[in-house]
Amino acid sequence: MAYSGRPEADEYNPFYARYVARVPQGDLVSILREQLSGTLSLFDGSEADAERPYAEGKWTLKQVLGHLADTERVMAYRALRVARGDATPLPGFEENDFAREAGSNARSLASLRDELATTRAATISLFDGLPAVAWERKGTASGSGISVRAVACIIAGHELHHREIVRTRYLGQAE
């Protein structure tokens, strides 16, 4: 189902404003469907290059891919719970703990790319099947209010945020 409504600032934690602001106007499901190929194309280098961080203490490209899949799963789970009317407050998650424990550097780039693509397909299926009323439902995650439509924007914007970091810091491309 197409949904082009933008979340209001009170529908997500202010931390996520930087992600929401990156998302263009339009159908959120189409945006999620269309942006992935551009992101995956950034992760087609060598295995060795993908295992080196761009600076000391930063993630490798493989860890970034794993992080994108993990974060999308967590956010899609939040969207599912809220969309189904579950009012249970949902916990946060520590991205650095996830990245450390994921074992992404021991995996192939191809398997990580496939995982992100599969995760995105499941996310699209979830959002595409939501009734219109579910998009505006609100719940609580990480101690803040959040709506389903905000989660969709956050997922898209989070990917765009990391796409820019990969282009500029890992690949040395101009903004």
Provide the domain limits for residue 30. Answer: 9-170
Q: What angle do CA 88, 93, 98 make, to 5 degrees?
A: 145
1 within a domain of the structure (yes/no):
no
Residue 175, pLDDT > 90, answer no
CATH code, domain carrying 119 = 1.20.120.450
Instruction: Locate 141 and state its tokens.
Output: 């995650």
Q: Residues near 94 by Cβ (< 8 Å), separated by ≥ 6?
A: none
> Which DSSP string corresponds to 76-134?
HHHHHHHHTT--PPBP---HHHHHHHH-GGGS-HHHHHHHHHHHHHHHHHHHHT--GGG
3 within a domain of the structure (yes/no):
no
175 within a domain of the structure (yes/no):
no
The pLDDT of residue 107 is 97
Q: How many domains does the chain have?
A: 1
The pLDDT of residue 174 is 75
Pairing verdict, β 138-141 and 144-147: antiparallel
pLDDT tens sequence across 140-173? 999 999 999 999 999 999 999 999 999 999 998 8
Alpha-carbon distance of 80 to 93, in angstroms, equals 17
72 within a domain of the structure (yes/no):
yes
pLDDT tens sequence across 90-136? 999 999 999 999 999 999 999 999 999 999 999 999 999 999 999 99
Residue 2, pLDDT > 80, answer no
4 within a domain of the structure (yes/no):
no
112 within a domain of the structure (yes/no):
yes
38 within a domain of the structure (yes/no):
yes
Instruction: Locate 134 and state its tokens.
Output: 């579910």
Average pLDDT over residues 22-31: 96
The pLDDT of residue 76 is 98
Higher pLDDT, 162 or 5: 162
